[in-house]
Structure 1
């Protein structure tokens, strides 16, 4: 009866999956990957506190919000729930408005948490790529013969683009962009750059990309102007990945002492 009541409250807005006991819930959760879990305290075999403890102890489920639903209202019961890792409590009989409000609040907190994790991963990617390239390029290119430099640059470009694309959700981050100019900016901005595309066409120029913040750091680029070649190569590689019949021309770069970076995406003349 409790399950059917909660289902009636929730299924207008949410997809609801139910379990009749704690073990069944633990078996279902890895498959269903719920956004919020409502746990009755009083369950056979494994009670709600024990289920909550197991969920909060596992890396894959520790950040799923858990609401304990209980007929118990004593201070010790609430402390037990807190110690088990519960995020919220509801006392039976459950009020529909209170239930929906608590769920909505927990979902907002969960989104904020994952936004912070994504931002952390993005910063880690930026720091990793930038530090590797800015540290390795001077030593690497110092003793390389000229014919091998282009090979190394090409390999670096592949590494950077693949690293970025591996950390981008293509459905939310790429397909939402207006055109190839915006995609180029979106990808290089993952390295900490601030680039934007000017969509006005002029002659054979399809887009002009302006950068006010260098992806490698302005001082690093001026010490190693080859980094500007990497920026151009990243754009060229993106055009190739998305099958665009365009080429990249460099007008200005911070590595060469200019105040900004300007790249043009031009139609290829055959």
Structure 2
């Protein structure tokens, strides 16, 4: 009866999966991947406290919000719920508006948490790529014969673009329906740059890409101007991936002492 009542409250806004005991609840979590879990304290097999402890001790499920639903209202019962890791408590009989409000609040907190994790992962990616390219590549290139340097640069460009595309949401990097200049900016900005695009000044120049924050760091780029070549190569590789018939010209770079980076995307003349 309790399950049917909660489903009636929630079915209009959420997809609800139910279990009648603690063991079944834990078995459902890996496949159903719930956004919020409502747990009755009094359940057969495993009680709500035990299920909550199991969820919060597993790295795969520890951040799923858990609401304990209980007829118990004693101080010791609430402490037991807190110790088990519960995020919220509702006392039977459950009020519909209170239930919906608590769920909405927990979902917002969950989204904020995962947004922070995504930002952390993005910063880790930026730092990892920067570290490799600004510290290792210039040293490596100094030891290579001239004929091999171009090969290494092209390989590094492919690796950087692949890493960014794999770790970036498609909505952030853009799609084929957007201007290629905007897509180029979205992708290189994942490295910590601040680039934007604007329409070209003549019919041959499709886009201008301007950068006011270097993806490699202004000082690093000035010490190793080859990094500016990597920026140009990244744009060229993106243009190739998105099937655009354009070429990239470099007009200004911070690595050469300019105040900004300025790249021009031109139509290829045959």
TM-score, normalization by structure 2: 0.97
Give how far 1:178 is off: 3.0
With over 3 angstroms needed to count, the CA separation of the structure-2 counterparts of 1:133 and 1:88, relative to structure 1, is: same
Residues in 2 aligned to 1:121 and 1:199: alpha-carbon distance in whole angstroms = 33
With over 3 angstroms needed to count, the CA separation of the structure-2 counterparts of 1:120 and 1:177, relative to structure 1, is: farther
Partner of 2:164: 164
When the two chains are superposed, the root-mean-square deviation of aligned CA atoms in Å is 1.3
Contact 2:209-2:263 at 8 Å conserved across structures: yes
With over 3 angstroms needed to count, the CA separation of the structure-2 counterparts of 1:12 and 1:176, relative to structure 1, is: farther
Partner of 1:79: 79
Could you say what secondary structure the match of 2:181 adopts?
helix
5+ unaligned residues in a row in structure 2: which ranges? none
Give how far 1:177 is off: 7.7
With over 3 angstroms needed to count, the CA separation of the structure-2 counterparts of 1:247 and 1:173, relative to structure 1, is: closer
Could you say what secondary structure the match of 1:189 adopts?
helix
Residues in 2 aligned to 1:82 and 1:8: alpha-carbon distance in whole angstroms = 27
Contact 1:157-1:234 at 8 Å conserved across structures: yes
Residues in 2 aligned to 1:174 and 1:86: alpha-carbon distance in whole angstroms = 39
1:136-176, Cα deviation, whole Å (9 max, x unpaired): 12311112111111000001101111111111122565349
With over 3 angstroms needed to count, the CA separation of the structure-2 counterparts of 1:176 and 1:100, relative to structure 1, is: farther
How do 1:144-163 residues align onto structure 2 when only pairs under 5 Å count?
Answer: 144-163=144-163
Contact 2:176-2:242 at 8 Å conserved across structures: no
Dislocated runs of 4+, deviation >6 Å: none
Give how far 1:4 is off: 0.8
5+ unaligned residues in a row in structure 1: which ranges? none
How do 1:71-150 residues align onto structure 2 when only pairs under 5 Å count?
Answer: 71-150=71-150
With over 3 angstroms needed to count, the CA separation of the structure-2 counterparts of 1:146 and 1:120, relative to structure 1, is: same
